[in-house]
């Protein structure tokens, strides 16, 4: 039976893959070439290891699989489910009674696959800390900082430390003098940027701060012994003084940064690994407890491991007297491209040698099942020139549909003008011709442009669009400079600084108003931008269309102005997104989806902001101006839809783990370095902190002396060599993404070079191309004379349609109002949970509110006329929700603090009348809430999530919202709890339950779509302390899906009033649109 199971698991595997899956080595390293099926091997290995331990759900948790990304973890989990299903089906065809028991055991494990430990290294550490917070010494309710949150806290720490005069006076006089002089040269902003970057980089090395000091000090001493000449005394002294001061500041920044995180009970990704390592090292009991739970560890993409991560694995895998542990790692040193994040490929190479010395064998996967033979042969030839001979093995093309090998194609740009923008223009035109030629056999979605850096991505996008080709940029940088964010900033600036003309021009030109240039000019000349916008409506100087658009804008602007003093920037952004037509307009633009996702990301960032200085409109706009002035490289929002038929432009790093039928590699002449920042300083792996030097001004002669420290020169040479090696690995990764066609392009008149800094020149050099080759149709590559097609079709620069490169504009008059909204895989209707609930209860109200955008008076609804007349129902609800969230999920435990009401008064800017009416009301709710069963369940839960944002994409809809509270029990099941702050009697609960039921059904569908198991849903009415629990069964899911489908059908009809029926109820008596309705 065991032999038969092994054969079943290894079915359809190659001999190399089978050897890896069935390996008996305790330490097994698999070097897997590109397209060799390493994920398949990992999945099969997981199943085989589980079978060896015994098919029991308890043994499932003894295996830990570590992936590089969350997407890879999800993919592996999905493949594992399919593999288990396949084996169970095959076992079910046998008729032996023993087999029936075997099938049952496999089926039980299959049901528990959600409990399998398949995580990223950070998620795995988070799991350990969450399960054992006391032993690990962390707050049980800790949260993980997003990257932007960690950066924000680090910026606060840098500003605080650098601004402290007391800290500077702790240094010696000579150190202070040199530091002040150095600060005058690099500037205050330069010093802040440098210290923040250095703080990130030394932690990325996985070092304790003491190691950074030791490495730097030892390097300085070594250099001083080598050079004792008097002429270099100034250089030695200045380097030592400035370096010491920088180390001092870095230490203080680290201490203060850790303090800020501790106060908020939040940790960054590096902390997660560091804290687990420290806990394992210090606490023997904790170490033995963790190690007993783990018998096998599998690691994917091991070539991108850093020193700290390797240290964690070593701690876990250290042998004990009771049991042996198995470590199975997969990777490829030729694909290590994340050095800028701290990855160290030398760890992989050292591990290979160490395990060989221990008597283990290195296993290789050398068959490529992805690319056609021509691409595989080309990548083999590249490896011979790019890597040492002992670091790679030749790859064999083994695709099942292998036909005649198609040669790689070179595109020559015929231009003597080496201006970058002109080269990009001509190159993009040439690429567009290839795209159109291939369009008959491939979809646009089969093609991708891979760039080293995204500097020219927008230019490629514009030119390809001018040729009628749909394009999407994936993960571009310059997030804060995008037009959609700039439009919002113009709108907010008109509220704060209405006297500035550029703010009005920007806001009125944007989709918020979309006034014509003539209309804006008329307004500027007539009004001088003085007074309120409403007063401009009486001037009678605009066309009819512009007058209507200005009227809509005035309503938006006035509402925003009234709310600006009592809402946070995040709340204001959200309100504008939901109450203006801006998002709907974006969906109609060619790149609108990316813009919508960017706004959603931006909104979520500011909704989570807690710094009091940034919660005002003034502080918010100042911070945004700072981000834009610093050319912040924050990436655009992640957006990916495999069904969208567009050509994608992305970085080579972003393409890692992906594959495409057709790959274009443009911009190869760009000599920009791999993104390792070292403008004036950086962290060297052996020298520690290294600084560049400066231009020294002689006070007597007023002459400048350029001082460049010797350590800098040595470190830069070392860095350049590492960058050169990484560039070759980056090129190899790009080439091996292609399945069927690979296109490389470079300028025709660029010279050949053996230097690996410029890929275009280096490539021409190894291909041995010269001027005589320009007339050829192909070149031969390598000793095997591999043919490479050479295309030089243009003898004159191709024409460029300049007008088509203008930014996209929106003409609302060109869209018929009554046309149904088309549904596709990507153009989903964006809708919030609140709006969807409104659509369910009264389609006619939704039609007036969201389709026609009929303005509503700012009045309270009948059901919200509370016993506290001094404050609106919505505002009261916001405050109660905030108190619950900060009590449940935050280290502040706000409702348990004696001054909780003073804090609420400050945060929500309550006036004395609101305070008097609200405090007794909140006191009663506080008492009931803290004594409730909900709080008891929170304390017993394995995991607690509050205000969890989600986007649920289903057929026709893209629904966004937030779930108030999610509780995970010990069996991985979740309970959804929705807080309700309605004032009502207990006998009205049944009616309210029916009203809120659609909202809960949508929450359930959204959470289930994430792969989560839902055990129950609860409506918690805070005012009367009543829980209404709802059973989850097949009937519940059927009703939820049917309701979603029924609301979707409205958008497939013409947008006429009769297609949006009324649903009369007692709520009609206080509906804002009652005067319009034919109820």
Going by C-beta distance under 8 Å and a sequence separation of 6 or more, which residues neighbour residue 382?
Answer: 731, 732, 735, 766
Listed in sequence order, the residues at least 6 apart from 136 whose beta carbon sits closer than 8 Å to its beta carbon are 128, 129, 275, 276, 279, 286
Query: Both 131 and 147 in a single domain?
Result: no
Q: Is residue 517 part of a domain?
A: yes
**What mean pLDDT comes out for the span 516-532?**
87
920: phi then psi, degrees, rounded to nearest 5: -60, -35
* Among the ranges given (321-335, 465-479, 485-499, 767-781), the one the predictor scored with the smallest mean pLDDT: 767-781
* Type and span of the H or E element at 365: strand 362-365
Same domain, 327 and 178: no
Specify whether the CB–CB gap between 520 and 505 falls below 8 A.
yes
pLDDT of residue 984: 78
What would the mean pLDDT of 828-839 be, rounded to a whole number? 80
**Predicted confidence (pLDDT) at residue 145 exceeds the cutoff of 80:** yes
pLDDT of residue 64: 93
For residues 118 and 67, the answer to whether their CB atoms sit within 8 Å is yes
**Domain membership flag for residue 54:** yes
Lowest mean pLDDT among 283-297, 391-405, 987-1001: 391-405
- What's phi and psi for 63, nearest 5 deg? -110, 130
When pLDDT is cut at 50, 70 and 90, the band that residue 749 belongs to is: low
Q: Same domain, yes or no, for 300 and 433?
A: no
Lowest-confidence segment of 68-72, 281-285, 769-773, 890-894 by average pLDDT: 769-773
257 and 310 together in one domain: no
Asked if residue 135 and residue 7 are part of one domain, the reply reads: yes
Q: What is the largest CA-CA distance in the chain?
A: 100
CATH number at 989 reads 3.90.320.10
The pLDDT of residue 125 is: 92
pLDDT of residue 144: 87
DSSP type of residue 850: I
Give domain status of residue 1023, yes or no.
yes
- Residue range 609-632: average pLDDT? 78
- What's the DSSP call for residue 341? G
Same structural domain, 128 and 155: no
Question: In which band, very low, low, confident or very high, does the pLDDT at 464 lie, cut at 50, 70 and 90?
Answer: very high
Domain contains 383: no
Q: What is the pLDDT of residue 328?
A: 95
Specify the higher pLDDT residue, 283 or 661: 661
Residue 812 has pLDDT above 50, yes or no: no
Percentage with pLDDT > 70 across the chain: 84
Q: Quick one: 1025 and 972 in the same domain?
A: yes
Q: Is residue 879 part of a domain?
A: yes
Average pLDDT over residues 436-448: 91
pTM (global) more than 0.95? no
pLDDT band at 822 (very low <50, low <70, confident <90, very high): very low
Does residue 355 belong to any structural domain of this protein? yes
Q: Are 68 and 207 in the same domain?
A: no
pLDDT at position 772 is: 46
| Segments forming the whole domain that contains residue 670 | 409-474+643-791
Q: Does the pLDDT at position 870 exceed 80?
A: no
Confidence at 905, pLDDT banded by 50, 70, 90? confident
Q: Is residue 250 domain-shared with residue 279, that is, in the same domain?
A: no
In this prediction, residue 1056 carries a pLDDT of: 65
Q: Are residues 608 and 700 in the same domain?
A: no
Q: Which of 231, 264, 297 is the last residue of a domain?
A: 264
pLDDT value, residue 801: 40
Q: 742: pLDDT confidence band, cut at 50, 70 and 90? A: very high
What is the average per-residue pLDDT within 262-288?
87
What b-and-e string marks burial along 615-650, b requiring 16 or more CB atoms within 10 Å of the CB?
A: bbbeebbebbeeeeeeeeebbbbebebeebebbbbb
479-497 mean pLDDT: 90
Domain CATH number, residue 621: 1.10.486.10
Asked if 786 and 768 touch (Cβ cutoff 8 Å), the reply is no
Position with higher pLDDT, 386 vs 800: 386
Helices (H), 439-543: 457-466, 483-496, 501-509, 517-527, 533-536
Please tell me whether residues 743 and 854 are part of one structural domain: no
Quick one: pLDDT at residue 417? 62
What are 160-190's pLDDT values in tens digits? 998 887 887 888 888 888 888 888 777 888 8
pLDDT tens-place string over residues 357-375: 888 889 999 999 999 999 9
Provide CB contacts within 8 A for 791, sequence distance 6+.
409, 410, 411, 412, 777
Residue 935's pLDDT is what?
86
Q: What is the rounded distance in angstroms from the CA atom of residue 323 to the CA atom of residue 776?
A: 66
**Which pLDDT belongs to residue 858?**
42
- 377: in domain: no
Note whether 888 and 969 are same-domain residues: yes
* Residue 824 burial by Cβ neighbours in a 10 Å radius (0-12, 13-18, 19+): exposed
Q: What is the pLDDT of residues 751-760, one digit of tens each?
A: 555 555 678 8
- Give 64 or 846, the one with higher predicted confidence: 64
Tally of domains within the chain = 5
């Amino acid at each position: 039976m065991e032999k038969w199971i092994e054969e079943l698991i290894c079915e359809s595997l190659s001999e190399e893959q089978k050897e890896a899956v069935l390996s008996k080595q305790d330490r097994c390293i698999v070097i897997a070439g590109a397209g060799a099926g390493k994920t398949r091997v990992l999945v099969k290995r997981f199943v085989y290891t589980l079978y060896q331990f015994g098919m029991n759900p308890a043994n499932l948790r003894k295996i830990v699989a570590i992936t590089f990304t969350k997407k890879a973890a999800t993919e592996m989990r999905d493949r594992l489910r399919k593999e288990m299903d396949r084996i169970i089906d095959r076992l079910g065809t046998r008729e032996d009674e023993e087999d029936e028991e075997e099938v049952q055991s496999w089926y039980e494990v299959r049901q528990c696959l959600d409990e399998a430990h398949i995580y990223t290294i950070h998620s795995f550490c988070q799991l350990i800390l969450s399960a054992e917070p006391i032993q690990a010494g962390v707050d049980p309710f800790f949260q993980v900082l997003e990257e932007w949150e960690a950066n924000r806290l680090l910026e606060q720490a840098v500003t605080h430390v650098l601004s402290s005069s007391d800290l500077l006076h702790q240094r010696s006089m000579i150190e202070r003098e040199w530091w002040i002089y150095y600060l005058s040269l690099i500037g205050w902003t330069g010093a802040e940027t440098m210290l923040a970057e250095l703080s990130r980089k030394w932690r990325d090395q996985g070092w304790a701060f003491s190691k950074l000091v030791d490495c730097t000090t030892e390097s300085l001493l070594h250099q001083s012994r080598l050079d004792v000449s008097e002429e270099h005394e100034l250089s030695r002294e200045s380097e030592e003084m400035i370096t010491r001061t920088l180390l001092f500041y870095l230490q203080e920044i680290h201490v203060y940064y850790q303090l800020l995180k501790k106060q908020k009970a939040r940790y960054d990704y590096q902390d997660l690994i560091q804290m687990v390592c420290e806990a394992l090292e210090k606490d023997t009991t904790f170490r033995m407890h963790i190690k007993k739970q783990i018998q096998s560890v599998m690691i994917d993409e091991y070539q991108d491991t850093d020193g700290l991560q390797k240290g964690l694995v070593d701690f876990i895998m250290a042998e004990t007297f009771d049991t042996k542990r198995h470590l199975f790692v997969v990777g490829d040193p030729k694909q290590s491209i994340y050095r800028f994040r701290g990855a160290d490929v030398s760890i992989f190479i050292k591990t290979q040698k160490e395990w060989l010395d221990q008597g283990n064998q290195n296993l290789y996967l050398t068959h490529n099942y992805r690319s056609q033979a021509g691409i595989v042969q080309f990548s083999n030839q590249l490896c011979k020139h790019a890597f040492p001979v002992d670091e790679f093995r030749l790859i064999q093309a083994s695709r099942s549909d292998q036909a005649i090998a198609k040669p790689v194609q070179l595109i020559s740009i015929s231009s003597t003008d080496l201006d970058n923008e002109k080269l990009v223009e001509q190159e993009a035109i040439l690429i567009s011709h290839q795209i159109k030629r291939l369009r008959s056999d491939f979809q646009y979605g089969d093609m991708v442009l891979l760039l080293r850096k995204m500097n020219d991505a927008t230019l490629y996008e514009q030119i390809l669009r001018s040729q009628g080709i749909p394009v999407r940029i994936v993960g571009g940088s310059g997030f804060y400079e995008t037009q959609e964010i700039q439009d919002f900033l113009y709108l907010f600036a008109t509220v704060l600084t209405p006297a500035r003309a550029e703010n009005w021009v920007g806001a009125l030109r944007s989709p918020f108003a979309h006034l014509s240039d003539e209309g804006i000019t008329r307004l500027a000349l007539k009004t001088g931008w003085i007074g309120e916008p409403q007063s401009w409506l009486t001037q009678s100087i605009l066309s009819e269309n512009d007058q209507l658009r200005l009227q809509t804008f005035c309503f938006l602007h006035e509402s925003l102005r009234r709310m600006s003093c009592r809402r946070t920037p995040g709340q204001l952004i959200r309100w504008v997104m939901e109450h203006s037509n801006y998002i709907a307009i974006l969906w109609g633009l060619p790149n609108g989806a990316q813009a919508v996702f960017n706004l959603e990301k931006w909104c979520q960032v500011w909704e989570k902001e807690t710094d009091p200085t940034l919660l005002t409109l003034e502080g918010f706009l100042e911070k945004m101006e700072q981000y834009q002035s610093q050319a912040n490289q924050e990436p655009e929002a992640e957006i990916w839809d495999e069904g969208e038929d567009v050509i994608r432009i992305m970085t080579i790093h972003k393409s890692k783990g992906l594959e495409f039928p057709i790959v274009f590699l443009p911009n190869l002449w760009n000599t920009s370095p791999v993104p390792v920042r070292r403008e004036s300083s950086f962290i060297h792996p052996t020298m520690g902190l290294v600084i560049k030097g400066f231009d020294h001004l002689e006070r007597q002669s007023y002459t400048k002396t350029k001082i460049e420290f010797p350590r800098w020169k040595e470190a830069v040479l070392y860095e350049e060599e590492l960058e050169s090696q990484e560039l070759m690995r980056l090129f190899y990764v790009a080439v091996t993404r292609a399945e069927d066609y690979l296109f490389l392009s470079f300028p025709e008149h660029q010279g050949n070079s053996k230097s690996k800094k410029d890929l275009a020149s280096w490539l021409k050099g190894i291909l041995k191309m010269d001027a005589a080759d320009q007339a050829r149709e192909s070149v031969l590559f390598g000793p095997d004379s591999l043919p490479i097609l050479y295309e030089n079709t243009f003898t004159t620069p191709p024409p460029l349609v300049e007008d088509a490169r203008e930014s996209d504009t929106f003409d609302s008059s060109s869209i018929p109002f009554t046309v149904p909204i088309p549904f596709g895989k990507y153009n989903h209707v964006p809708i919030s949970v609140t709006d969807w609930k409104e659509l369910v209860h009264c389609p006619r109200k939704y039609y007036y509110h969201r389709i026609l955008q009929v303005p509503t008076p700012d009045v309270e609804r009948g059901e919200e006329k509370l016993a506290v007349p001094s404050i609106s129902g919505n505002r009261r609800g916001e405050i109660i929700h905030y108190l619950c969230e900060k009590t449940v999920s935050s280290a502040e435990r706000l409702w348990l603090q004696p001054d909780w009401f003073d804090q609420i008064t400050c945060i929500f800017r309550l006036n004395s009348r609101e305070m008097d009416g609200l405090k007794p009301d909140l006191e009663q709710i506080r008492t009931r809430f803290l004594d409730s069963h909900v709080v008891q369940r929170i304390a017993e839960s394995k995991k607690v999530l509050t205000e969890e944002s989600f986007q649920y994409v289903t057929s026709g809809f893209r629904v966004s919202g937030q779930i108030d509270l999610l509780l995970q029990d010990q069996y991985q099941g979740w309970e959804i709890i929705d807080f309700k702050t309605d004032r009502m009697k207990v006998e009205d609960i049944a009616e309210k339950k029916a009203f809120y039921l659609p909202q809960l059904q949508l929450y359930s569908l959204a959470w289930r779509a994430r792969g989560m198991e839902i055990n129950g849903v609860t409506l918690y009415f805070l005012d009367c302390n009543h829980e209404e629990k709802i059973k989850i069964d097949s009937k519940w899911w059927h009703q939820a899906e049917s309701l979603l489908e029924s609301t979707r059908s409205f958008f497939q009809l013409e947008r006429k009033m009769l297609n949006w029926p009324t649903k009369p109820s007692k709520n009609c008596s206080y509906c804002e649109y009652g005067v319009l309705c034919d109820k």
